[in-house]
Amino acid sequence: MPVLDLPDLNQPHGMYLAQIAVRAVMAWPTDAATRRRYVAIVMAHHLGELEAAADGLPDPAQAADWFETIAAIREHEEWQQTWDFLESWFNGGGRFAAVAVAPGIQEYQALMNSRMGDQLAAGLILALVRRMARHPELRGGPSVKKAIFLLEHVPAPGGVPRNSNDLWQAWSDYKPVSHFCAALFDCIHETMDETGSPEAFAVRMQQRLEYGFDSFLAEAEAYQSFGLSFRPWGKSLPLLDPVQTWILPAARQWQPTPMVAAPLNDYLLSVLRNYRAPSAY
């Protein structure tokens, strides 16, 4: 199984770079070359910003006193540390050769946005199966088929497909990263509950991911553990393929999440009562 390469979250910009790593593998779980080019493009963008900011650094030789000299030296050291950190990721992405053949950062962002609905669908499927597991009375047990049936028949977030063929395709495409997709949906849903406007939502989401990405990873780990251990009724393999699933590194940099999967509410259970397994011919 592939293991996600994460930076030290305690280092400067560690949380942000971890986001980039997760975004890349969520968007292209089976395309390593595109992931590297995406990382190179993003790092090149930030290195360009950092290079432009160098002109604004104070000159220690022009400081009025010793305290200003120390402060100026510290700013230069922080700038260099950030440069070295970003450059190491730029190098890992393939450097200028990768940038030369890659689309621009706006094109990448548009492509990733266009896939968000399918990613959330895959995450919702995993989340619904996990919640179904809280109901031992459920005939036939939890299954992807039941989760897709629910998404076809209940209101879903904008962009999430409603057609069963599209939902199956989304599950197939993003199943190896569905635990990250599920954690992202939870984060979006919780942030929407906390905020009252699109502007406030965008700000709060950025704050949660920038300063609390370890909590996101802990939630993804909980979904990962469930998916790799839960075996649907009548199946010999777990819900998530242990060979293809992108797993988090064993050296955990976060505390386990205190959150547990809630059972299905009465409305979802009532919809599931209308589910009938496809007939075999």
Q: How far apart are the first and last CA of the chain?
A: 35
Please identify, among 111, 136, 151, the residue that sits at the C-terminal boundary of a domain.
Answer: 111
Residue 233 near residue 143, CB atoms below 8 Å = yes
Cβ neighbours for 148, distance < 8 A, ≥ 6 positions apart: 125, 164, 167, 168, 171
Is 2 part of a structural domain of the chain?
no
User: Backbone phi, then psi, for 247, in 5-degree steps?
Assistant: -105, 155
Is 210 part of a structural domain of the chain?
yes
**CA–CA gap between residue 237 and residue 77 (Å, rounded):** 52
Q: Give me the domain span that covers residue 233.
A: 115-272
Same domain, 86 and 122: no
pLDDT in tens, 55-113: 888 888 888 888 888 988 998 988 898 888 889 888 888 898 888 888 888 999 898 98
Please identify, among 85, 111, 137, the residue that sits at the C-terminal boundary of a domain.
Answer: 111
Please identify, among 90, 111, 132, the residue that sits at the C-terminal boundary of a domain.
Answer: 111
pLDDT in tens, 129-170: 999 999 998 888 999 999 999 999 998 877 899 999 999 999
**CA–CA gap between residue 109 and residue 118 (Å, rounded):** 15
